[in-house]
Amino acid sequence: MNQGLGWLPVIVVLVLGIAMAWSGTNGNNMWLLGFGVFEIIIGLLGVYAISKRSRQKVEIKRCPECDEPVASGDELCPKCGFKLS
């Protein structure tokens, strides 16, 4: 399963969003404040999506003879040679 970049883009978006929102509140710049809040919302959606995906169970295919884990595309067990399909 390809994990990709994982948490890095989410952390970057959250940090930038907090920094922009903070800058917008200090300088009365509503554009920075609005964009910062938007980035924080997007970052929190990313946190939700990654945490939801990490809770999903991945079924591991096992050989019925020796109980060895096998890849989904294998036709023979690599340990005992049992025909899987």
Tens digits of residue pLDDT in 5-63? 678 888 899 999 999 888 888 877 888 889 999 999 999 998 898 888 777 666 778 88
What's the confidence (pLDDT) of residue 15? 92
What's the confidence (pLDDT) of residue 8? 85
What's the burial of 37, exposed, middle or buried (CB within 10 Å: 0-12/13-18/19+)? middle
d(CA 43, CA 39): 6
Q: Where are the beta strands (DSSP E) in 25-67?
A: none
What's the confidence (pLDDT) of residue 27? 74
What's the confidence (pLDDT) of residue 81? 84
- The yes-or-no verdict on residue 4 having pLDDT over 90 is no
Q: Where are the beta strands (DSSP E) in the chain?
A: none
d(CA 54, CA 69): 21
What's the burial of 43, exposed, middle or buried (CB within 10 Å: 0-12/13-18/19+)? buried
